[in-house]
């Protein structure tokens, strides 16, 4: 074990020397049974956090560790807050290689399911929108639609229609080959009385459609008096 730790630390020092002190080093592995088996380290670069997720493959618990963009982590944390998750899953950036440590901590604190019988879990797609609930009149607002795993295609509707307000733009970010999540960002350049309301994002993931909706209000005290009937 001591030899492994020394090897990990040597790799960390090399990464920091090459990329600078602000770079975040994270463990990155696919389908390892124990987090301690993950020894591959990558430089996540700016704007990323370390990511960990426990999955089931053919009824066996396995781990995925790697990097995830901050906006995706924020959406993931929002997902964890609104949906019951009975396995370790999350992001961290408090120190280099924190995802293996946090995975172990979350395993200890994770809820243990009482479900019996075989579990042949597939990686069920997840989708969540990270956005404010209200905004200042004529301010710029962004809604980040995040899917796990990345979607091949994203689409948006506004108040149930496919016609988006003229002040709205959308950008789909191309994920890296080993990305755990995909992101499509909708931007309302200047939110007004024609562009506030309910926005729904739909992602197509391996032929499966997943959707999430988010309603944005305008702070009433920021709307000019003449515009309020």
What pLDDT sits at residue 208? Answer: 92
Pairing of strands 60-69, 29-32: antiparallel
Q: How many domains is the chain partitioned into structurally?
A: 2
Domain span at residue 65 reads 24-109
Decide: pTM greater than 0.85.
no
Asked whether residue 7 is domain-assigned, the answer is: no
Residues 136 and 205 in one domain: yes
Residues 101 and 130 in one domain: no
Residues 207 and 172 in one domain: yes
- Of 59, 98, 93, 102, residue with least CA distance to 74: 93
What pLDDT sits at residue 178? Answer: 66
What pLDDT sits at residue 23? Answer: 76
Residues 187 and 142 in one domain: yes
What pLDDT sits at residue 119? Answer: 34
- Of 56, 44, 43, residue with least CA distance to 88: 56
Distance CA 52, CA 110 (A): 13
Asked whether residue 9 is domain-assigned, the answer is: no
What pLDDT sits at residue 81? Answer: 67
What pLDDT sits at residue 25? Answer: 93
Asked whether residue 114 is domain-assigned, the answer is: no
* Residue at which a domain ends, from 41, 74, 109: 109
What pLDDT sits at residue 126? Answer: 83
Provide the CATH number for the domain around residue 140. 2.60.40.10
Q: 204: which strand partners? A: 153, 209
Residues 154 and 223 in one domain: yes
What pLDDT sits at residue 85? Answer: 65
What pLDDT sits at residue 170? Answer: 94
Per-residue pLDDT of the chain (229 residues; tens, 9 = 90+): 445 445 554 544 444 444 445 679 999 998 899 999 999 999 988 888 999 988 877 888 899 898 888 878 887 776 666 666 667 888 999 899 999 999 988 877 654 333 333 333 345 788 888 888 999 999 999 998 988 888 999 999 999 999 999 999 999 887 766 677 888 999 999 999 999 999 999 999 989 999 999 999 999 999 998 776 5
Distance CA 217, CA 141 (A): 11
Asked whether residue 140 is domain-assigned, the answer is: yes
182 close to 151: Cβ distance less than 8 angstroms: yes
What pLDDT sits at residue 54? Answer: 86
Asked whether residue 13 is domain-assigned, the answer is: no
Asked whether residue 141 is domain-assigned, the answer is: yes
Asked whether residue 116 is domain-assigned, the answer is: no
What pLDDT sits at residue 115? Answer: 34
Asked whether residue 183 is domain-assigned, the answer is: yes
């Amino acid at each position: 074990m001591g030899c492994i730790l020394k090897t990990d630390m040597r790799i960390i020092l090399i990464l920091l020397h090459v990329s600078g002190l602000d770079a975040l080093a994270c463990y990155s592995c696919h389908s390892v049974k124990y987090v301690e088996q993950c020894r591959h380290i990558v430089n996540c670069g700016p704007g990323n956090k370390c990511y960990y997720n426990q999955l089931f493959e053919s009824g066996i618990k396995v781990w995925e560790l790697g990097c995830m963009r901050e906006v995706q982590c924020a959406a993931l944390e929002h997902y964890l807050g609104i949906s019951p998750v009975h396995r370790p899953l999350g992001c961290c950036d408090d120190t280099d290689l924190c995802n293996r440590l946090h995975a172990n901590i979350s395993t200890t604190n994770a809820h243990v399911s009482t479900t019996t019988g075989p579990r042949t879990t597939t990686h069920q797609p997840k989708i969540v929108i990270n956005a404010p609930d209200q905004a200042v009149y004529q301010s710029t607002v962004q809604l980040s639609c995040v899917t796990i795993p990345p979607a091949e295609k994203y689409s948006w509707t506004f108040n149930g229609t496919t016609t988006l307000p003229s002040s709205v733009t959308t950008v789909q970010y191309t994920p890296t080959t080993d990305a755990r999540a995909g992101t499509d960002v909708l931007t309302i350049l200047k939110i007004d009385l024609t562009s506030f309301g309910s926005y729904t994002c739909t992602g197509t993931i391996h032929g499966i459609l997943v959707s999430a909706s988010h309603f944005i209000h305008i702070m009433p005290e920021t709307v000019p008096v003449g515009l309020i009937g």
